[in-house]
Structure 1
Amino acid sequence: MAGAIQAFKDNSAPKPAEQFKLIPKIINGGIAGIIGVSVVFPLDLVKTRLQNQVIGPHGERMYKSMFDCFKKTYKAEGYFGMYKGSAVNILLITPEKAIKLTANDTFRHYLSLGPGQQLPIEREMLAGGLAGACQIVITTPMELLKIQMQDAGRVAMAAKEAGKVVPKISAWSLTVDLLKKRGILGLYQGTGATALRDVTFSVIYFPLFARLNDLGPKREDGSSVFWCSFLAGCAAGSTAALMVNPFDVIKTRLQVIKKAPGDPTYTGVLDCILKTFKNEGLTAFFKGGACRMIVIAPLFGIAQTVYYLGVAEWLLGLK
């Protein structure tokens, strides 16, 4: 690992523009994120609500399954209820995906051993981990706001059953309230858990995607065909998603601000892990796991496909 870091330092000088075009990669990453999130957002909402629901002392629960959550959400909130929080996500997913995908490519470029040589697995993992660390500056506030909006329906329903009323919230009002009470740091609640999830995810995802993508056919210019990138993104994304699901459950619970009646409170990552395990057992850490795999697989499949289609290069007249 030390050798990989040193190689990064040794190669830190700017490379010629024809070797590595940064601006098109940033644009492609943004376009990829918008398209991917727009397609899978309802599944992500269901995932959030499944992860946040707490099983009662007698096994009672609001949602019995992913499909039950879909049905109840649609019945109570309608079609647009499935897209609560999507405006925030789509607005911030552009820089988030641009940072994640571009940073990984950038670190891989500077960590390379030379033209035509495959990047060793430890350098691929380092590049992925660094990319994951870079994105949390955008991911944390985006996830915080998105989760409040996605979980609002579950909280309102639980409050109604308890004879209480929860006022409606918007992403803007929540942002203003957090800034007034806690300053900019208020938007970074759960940063540690977010970093734990995103860095680990990227360490797994990017090397796996690269290896799977290399197995497929190539175009004359050496680039991957679109269906190969899509399948590699789906396979690598779903695998990494399942492996980091326990971290995602912890992150989701720590970032919930307005809780439903009876929901526990947590003081930090370790406290959340211990209370979740004590009250709900090991299986609680895999709540929403299947749903998260279904979300991440097409999200990264679509994102990687769009990223490698070269839309930005076409728009900028580079192809």
Structure 2
Amino acid sequence: MADKQISLPAKLINGGIAGLIGVTCVFPIDLAKTRLQNQQNGSRLYTSMSDCLIKTIRSEGYFGMYRGAAVNLTLVTPEKAIKLAANDFFRHHLSKDGKLTLFKEMLAGCGAGTCQVIVTTPMEMLKIQLQDAGRIGKSKSTQMDVLMLCCLCSSAAQRKLMPETVAAGTVETKSPTAMQLTRQLLREKGIAGLYKGLGATLLRRIMVSFLTSFLPIRMDLLPFMSLYIAVIKTRLQSLNRGSTEDTYSGVTDCISKIMRNEGPSAFLKGAYCRALVIAPLFGIAQVVYFLGVGEFLLSFLPKKDN
């Protein structure tokens, strides 16, 4: 009975710790994934994950790789808590004599994924804006440099001013904070503004939860099964675009424009990064659960006498 009483709290602690460690370890790769997925053919700044990270460090510093990390670190624990609690809830109500059929395992996983998006959608919405701000700023800065160079080359007098003027043109505007973005979205679009891309997020989360419910080879399938949806979700949740980049009104519009303007291969943008992110996250979660960190911490609490 005691084990059952501490089961859920231990799971919540394990999930929170695994989430915090995982986000910290893989966030630079996740940032590269977002920027690679968002860049379109007419505004390519990065050729690969390593090129993206190197340019990010050069232009934004080491901590530039952690733009938006605070949002994830803040919300990852309630996200895991909702997912784990919902999964236990659905499993309890769907089980018969403590056993679940394969179909009910799938339903429990899908139900947990559906509940999880309550936190996941606004979390990823804000994270993507912050992660992509550096790419948008750099793109606009590059366009400004080109225009200024054209003007400066028009006369000898202007060419003398070129070093000072170009330096001023390359300075990026300060990136907004998560709180500023949240207030702006709530003011302009209401609560729905934080849930843009909900359909794509829900579809991906249900798919992930569905696979993790019962497939023994799920760790190999997850990166590839969610790739196509991941690109669509990232594009839909990005509010700011370069002057030459497409905007999208929904999932169908996004798919059709990507297919028409960039081809099917565009859905695989950031695939390598996605695979590198998924593996450590699951590995860290498995280690935390295997070591029983939550159970260890709860063991120090005074036990109630029956």
| TM-score normalised according to structure 1 size | 0.80
Q: Offset at 1:269?
A: 0.8
Match in the other structure for 1:298: 280
Q: Offset at 1:135?
A: 0.4
- CA, structure 1 residues 306+109, in 2 after alignment: closer, same or farther (shift >3 Å)? farther
Q: Hey, what's the Cα distance between the residues in 1 that align with 2:84 and 2:222?
A: 15
Match in the other structure for 1:7: none
**Aligned 1:1-319 pairs, distance under 5 A:** 18-19=3-4, 21-56=7-42, 61-115=44-98, 119-163=100-144, 168-208=175-215, 211=216, 236-317=218-299
Q: Hey, what's the Cα distance between the residues in 1 that align with 2:143 and 2:4?
A: 61
Amino acid at match of 1:150: Q
Q: Hey, what's the Cα distance between the residues in 1 that align with 2:174 and 2:242?
A: 12
Match in the other structure for 1:233: none
Contact 2:122/2:194 (<8 A) preserved = yes
Higher helix content, 1 or 2: 2
Match in the other structure for 2:157: none
Contact 1:88/1:142 (<8 A) preserved = yes
Q: Hey, what's the Cα distance between the residues in 2 that align with 1:278 and 1:269?
A: 14
Contact 1:26/1:98 (<8 A) preserved = yes
Q: Hey, what's the Cα distance between the residues in 1 that align with 2:9 and 2:118?
A: 20
Whose radius of gyration is greater, 1 or 2? 2
| TM-score normalised according to structure 2 size | 0.83
Contact 1:158/1:261 (<8 A) preserved = no
Q: Hey, what's the Cα distance between the residues in 2 that align with 1:237 and 1:144?
A: 25
Q: Offset at 1:166?
A: 5.1
Amino acid at match of 1:190: G
- CA, structure 1 residues 157+238, in 2 after alignment: closer, same or farther (shift >3 Å)? farther
Q: Offset at 1:316?
A: 1.7
Q: Offset at 1:122?
A: 2.0
Which stretch of the first structure deviates more once superposed, 302-311 or 92-101? Answer: 302-311
- Indicate the RMSD between aligned Cα atoms, in angstroms: 2.1
Contact 2:130/2:175 (<8 A) preserved = no
Q: Offset at 1:167?
A: 5.0
Cα deviation digits, residues 151-207 of structure 1 (max 9, x gap): 111101111122186552111111111111122221111111110111112111232
Q: Hey, what's the Cα distance between the residues in 1 that align with 2:15 and 2:270?
A: 26
Contact 1:190/1:255 (<8 A) preserved = yes
Q: Offset at 1:30?
A: 1.5
- CA, structure 1 residues 44+237, in 2 after alignment: closer, same or farther (shift >3 Å)? farther
Q: Hey, what's the Cα distance between the residues in 2 that align with 1:184 and 1:192?
A: 15
Match of 2:41, SS state, is coil
Contact 1:25/1:312 (<8 A) preserved = yes
- CA, structure 1 residues 80+22, in 2 after alignment: closer, same or farther (shift >3 Å)? same
Q: Offset at 1:238?
A: 4.8
Q: How many residues align?
A: 274
Q: Hey, what's the Cα distance between the residues in 2 that align with 1:83 and 1:260?
A: 22
Match of 1:63, SS state, is coil
What's the % identity of the aligned pairs? 54
Amino acid at match of 1:303: A
- CA, structure 1 residues 105+305, in 2 after alignment: closer, same or farther (shift >3 Å)? farther
Q: Hey, what's the Cα distance between the residues in 2 that align with 1:141 and 1:77?
A: 25
